Amino acid sequence: MLADIAEWYYIDGLKQSEIASRIGVDRSMISRMLAEARKQKIVEIRIHRPLSSDRDLEERLVERFGLKKACVLQDKGNDYSQLLQQLGVAGANLLKDYFKPGTTLGLSWGTGVSAVVDAVEQSRPVSMRIVQVVGAMGAQNSVYDGPGLVQRLAQIIDCESYFLNAPFIVEEPEIAQALLTNQNIAEAMLLAQNCDVVLVGVGSTEPEYSSFYQAGYVPLTDLNQLRDLGMVGDVCGRHFNLEGESPELEFHERIVTINETDLKNIPIRIAVAGGLGKFKAILGALRAGYINILVTDDQVANAILELK
């Protein structure tokens, strides 16, 4: 009944009073039932608000860091989930320029990458490949874990998908090395190395902003150790300090992910990340050269550009 009422009201354009007469209830009952339909997710409303960008900040970021492109959204004081959704739409609009036959697109993981995938709309199949470039976090994080993201985007585009069938982090360096020499994993990693485009998020070592920690995948002791060593963030699990330096870390020896050199050799490296809590991580990633196209918000851009 809720679905019928929702269709009559939202699709057929009937007035609430007309629907009330049709089923023999009063108008206030129809209003409550429409509200219940939204509560139960029978009805979902999406508002396509035009995105406002700051051209001046974009040009300054491009000049300062030698980027190919920057997209800086105006943060209108929305909460982080709304900001992330808007960043995802901006990232999806940009990413679609690279949906071309023969393209190999790499995906990392995280909430920023997930927001982009959620916003992608594609009306026709594209003969391209989607490749996972970072090992899996675990089944409990399937919404923004690498395999889930690759599968979702490949279904939207109707194209081939390739998975890195290994965990992101293991207990010992020897285990990571053994996994990387496995034939199936080595073949997937070879595809990752030959990506034309890669879409990444930017992680933080601050517990309240760390997806690794919030997902329960990296213990607080590991995160504290990274932060004590001066690490401010990561891209594809590769951590760096505020200057963009990425020293040899025992943590890096235990992860299964694309290596630093191969990541930097990918021609188009798009990062989608925002929120002031991540500005140091984003600055470190820019200085490290991990990304050459940035989608972020004006508060982050201003904070970055104010630092000498």
Give me the residue spans of the domains in the chain: 2-39, 55-306
Q: pLDDT of 206-231, one tens digit each?
A: 988 887 787 777 788 888 999 999 99
Average pLDDT, the chain: 92
pLDDT of residue 78: 72
Task: Tell me what percent of the residues of the chain surpass a pLDDT of 70.
Answer: 96
pLDDT above 90 (res 182): yes
User: Smallest Cα–Cα separation from 143: which of 121, 167, 120, 111?
Assistant: 111
The whole model's pTM is what? 0.83
For the cut 70, the answer to whether the pLDDT of residue 140 exceeds it is: no
Cβ burial, residue 130 (10 Å; 0-12/13-18/19+) = buried
Position 50 scores a pLDDT of: 63
Residues 3, 40: contact at Cβ < 8 Å? Answer: no
State residue 80's pLDDT score: 86
pLDDT at 104: 98
Q: What is the reported pLDDT for 25?
A: 94
How much of the chain, in percent, has pLDDT values that exceed 90?
78
Helices 111-119 and 146-157, axial angle in degrees (round to 10): 10
Task: pLDDT band for 19, please (50, 70, 90 cuts).
Answer: very high
Question: Is a pLDDT exceeding 60 seen at residue 292?
Answer: yes
- Answer yes or no: is pLDDT of 139 > 60: no
Q: How confident is the model at residue 131 (pLDDT cuts 50, 70, 90)?
A: very high
Confidence of residue 137 (pLDDT cuts 50, 70, 90): confident
Q: Residue 7: pLDDT above 60?
A: yes
pLDDT tens, position by position, 98-108: 999 999 999 99
For the cut 80, the answer to whether the pLDDT of residue 138 exceeds it is no
- pLDDT band for position 52 (cuts 50, 70, 90): confident
CB 25 within 8 A of CB 34: no
Higher pLDDT: 257 or 140? It is: 257
Cβ pair 251, 222 in contact under 8 A: yes
Question: Which CATH number is associated with domain 55-306?
Answer: 3.40.50.1360
Asked whether residue 267 carries a pLDDT value surpassing 80, the answer given is yes
80 contacts: CB under 8 Å, gap ≥ 6: 275
Residues 166-178 have pLDDT tens digits of: 999 899 999 999 9
Closest residue by Cα to residue 132 from 166, 102, 155: 166
* Alpha-carbon distance values, 281 to 39, 109, 137 (Å): 37, 16, 20
